[in-house]
Amino acid sequence: MDYQLKLKPFKAKNGQKYKIIQITDIALHTAHKNPTSIGKKLQQAFKFKKPGRIYGLINNVELTTSSPQNKQAIIDLIKKDHEFMKVILEEEKNGYKVLLGLPDEIPVVAGKDTIEFIASINGKRVLRGLAKNNLES
């Protein structure tokens, strides 16, 4: 049987056990981070009952606080991970329904490395170059 990610509003069913994946924020980094397996991080989070953080590449998306594009970028990132569906199927075998919680407003914040880069000499050069390009157009 072929499984696929279905997105629809949540309706509780009596007797069903749930596990919720809650997206809390998107942090933008300048340092190169190796993309992590969402499925493996999810397994760890469920096993140890602790939150986790994943790293992935979001390309050509304008991220803002209340943009539906943020949700779509997250969904696209999840769909690319092969391990994710394995974890979902495993949880369903254990009697759980896995839900993805996406708030209306997903905070987009600068990572610590991004803040440090902007404060650096090279970061200031990049900002001046961007400002110059904006004035010319």
- Helix orientation angle between 121-136 and 112-119, rounded to the nearest 10 degrees: 80
d(CA 129, CA 134): 9
Q: Which residues make Cβ contacts (< 8 Å) with residue 69, sequence separation at least 6?
A: 61, 62, 63
What average pLDDT does range 100-113 have in this prediction? 85
Q: What is the pLDDT of residues 35-84, one digit of tens each?
A: 888 889 989 988 998 988 888 877 766 776 667 777 888 888 888 888 88
Tokens representing residue 10 in the block: 């949540």
pLDDT at 116: 93
Q: 54: how many CB neighbours lie within 10 A of its CB?
A: 19
Q: How far is CA 46 from the centre of its chain?
A: 17
pTM of the predicted model, to two decimals?
A: 0.69
* Dihedral (CA of 63, 107, 38, 74) sign: negative
Domain-wise residue ranges, the chain: 17-109
